[in-house]
């Protein structure tokens, strides 16, 4: 009884080893399906996954208008203080004061790409871009102002 178990052990071991070696031999002899990305060479044709998170950007339309109301929901959602929103008051033609953003400051060097700010945004003003080559020589360059100079809030966004 013991001997039977012993022999079946040896047989099973040899069999499973053969299965593993067959798989690696298959990979060895089928060298077309390479999973390596030849990164700097294929920069032009590189396709990133749809949900890749590179950095936070603010979309502007052709009239230089964005959708950020300055509600600071993203600033509150951010776990490590990456976003700082400085607000100002615009005077509308009727003489009414209206809150708007002055500067949307984004610290890329603190950002962990957790996507919480994008989910918190009620007006879909910000989204994640697919850029990832962020290295710079001066870390001050990583502090970015996301709203373009002279940009305004889009009509109808509250």
Partner 1 sequence: MWNLSDIAKSVDEWLNSVMSPTWVLVVEMVVIGVLAIALFAVLGLVLVIMERKVAAYMQIRLGPNRVGPKGMLQSLADTVKLLVKEGLTPAGADKFLFNLAPFIAMITAMLLLAPLAFAKDFQIWDLNIGVLYITAVSSLSVIGILMAGWSSNNKYSLLGAMRSGAQIVSYELSAGLAIMTVVILTGSLQMSEIVKSQADGWWLFKGHIPAIISFVIFIIAVTAETNRAPFDLAEAESELTAGFHTEYSGMKFALFFLAEYINVFIVCAVGATLFLGGWMPFHIGNWEGFNHVMDYIPSSIWFFGKTFFLIFVIMWFRWTFPRLRIDQLLNLEWKYLLPISMLNILVVTLIAIKGWHF
Could you list the residues that contact partner 1 (CB under 8 A)?
9-10, 13, 17, 20-21, 23-25, 27-28, 31, 33-36, 38
Helix (H, G, I), strand (E, B) or coil at 64: coil
Shortest Å distance, C-beta 34 to partner 1: 6
How would DSSP label each residue in 116-156?
Answer: HHHHH-SS--EEEE-------SSGGGGEEE-SPTT-EEPTT
Name residue 128's beta-bridge partners.
56
Shortest Å distance, C-beta 20 to partner 1: 5
Distance of alpha carbon 151 from alpha carbon 154, whole angstroms: 9
H helix intervals, the chain: 2-29, 73-77, 116-120
Q: Token pair of 39, please?
A: 């990164």
* 128: phi then psi, degrees, rounded to nearest 5: -90, 130
Shortest Å distance, C-beta 43 to partner 1: 17
Shortest Å distance, C-beta 30 to partner 1: 9
Question: Residue 10 or residue 86: which is nearer to partner 1 going by CB?
Answer: 10
Strand duo 152-153 + 65-66: pairing: parallel
Question: Residue 31 or residue 97: which is nearer to partner 1 going by CB?
Answer: 31
Question: Residue 10 or residue 136: which is nearer to partner 1 going by CB?
Answer: 10
Question: Residue 17 or residue 136: which is nearer to partner 1 going by CB?
Answer: 17
Question: Residue 16 or residue 124: which is nearer to partner 1 going by CB?
Answer: 16
Shortest Å distance, C-beta 45 to partner 1: 17
């Amino acid at each position: 009884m013991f001997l039977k178990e012993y022999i079946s052990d040896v047989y099973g071991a040899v069999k499973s080893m053969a299965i593993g070696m067959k798989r690696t031999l298959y990979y060895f002899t089928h060298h077309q399906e390479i999973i390596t990305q030849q990164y700097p060479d294929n920069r032009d044709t590189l396709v990133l996954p749809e949900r890749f998170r590179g950095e936070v950007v603010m979309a502007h339309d052709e009239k230089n208008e964005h959708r950020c109301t300055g509600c600071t929901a993203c600033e509150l959602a951010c776990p490590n203080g990456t976003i700082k929103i400085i607000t100002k008051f615009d005077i509308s033609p009727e003489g009414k004061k209206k809150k708007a953003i002055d500067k949307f400051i984004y610290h890329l060097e603190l950002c962990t790409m957790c996507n919480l700010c994008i989910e918190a945004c009620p007006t879909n003003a910000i989204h994640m871009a697919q850029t990832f080559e962020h290295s710079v020589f001066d870390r001050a360059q990583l502090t970015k102002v996301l709203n373009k100079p002279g940009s305004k809030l889009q009509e109808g966004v509250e």
